[in-house]
């Protein structure tokens, strides 16, 4: 692991009804396609990316569409 590590956060909001939000995230994080994914309300994934001499820890928050986004604002 590199001495230069940053953590970045990505929040993905979407509808509960089979729009492919979680499938896209799983494809990126695990490099696999899940044909039948069990729906969840919220999920968190982590992936480390190496860009030149820097390691980036990417935290991806998979959030079902809701009207209360205030707690996610930084």
List domains and CATH numbers for the chain. Answer: 5-67 (3.40.50.300)
Q: What is the pLDDT of residue 13?
A: 84
DSSP strand pairing (54-64 vs 42-51): antiparallel
pLDDT-flagged residues of the chain (< 50)? 1-2
Q: What is the pLDDT of residue 10?
A: 95
Nearest to 34 by CA among 26, 44, 42: 26
Name 22's Cβ contacts closer than 8 Å, sequence gap at least 6: 34, 37, 39, 40, 43, 62
Query: How many CB atoms sit inside 10 A of residue 12's CB?
Result: 14
Residues 38 and 11: their CA atoms lie apart, in Å, by 20
Q: What is the pLDDT of residue 31?
A: 92
Report percent pLDDT > 90 for the chain. 36
Q: What is the pLDDT of residue 65?
A: 73
């Amino acid at each position: 692991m590199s001495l230069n590590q940053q953590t970045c956060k990505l929040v993905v909001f979407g509808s509960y009804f089979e729009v492919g939000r979680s499938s896209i995230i799983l494809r990126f994080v695990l490099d696999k396609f899940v044909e039948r994914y069990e729906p969840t309300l919220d999920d968190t994934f982590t992936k480390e990316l190496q860009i030149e001499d820097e390691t980036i820890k990417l935290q991806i928050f998979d959030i079902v569409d809701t009207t209360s986004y205030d707690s996610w604002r930084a």
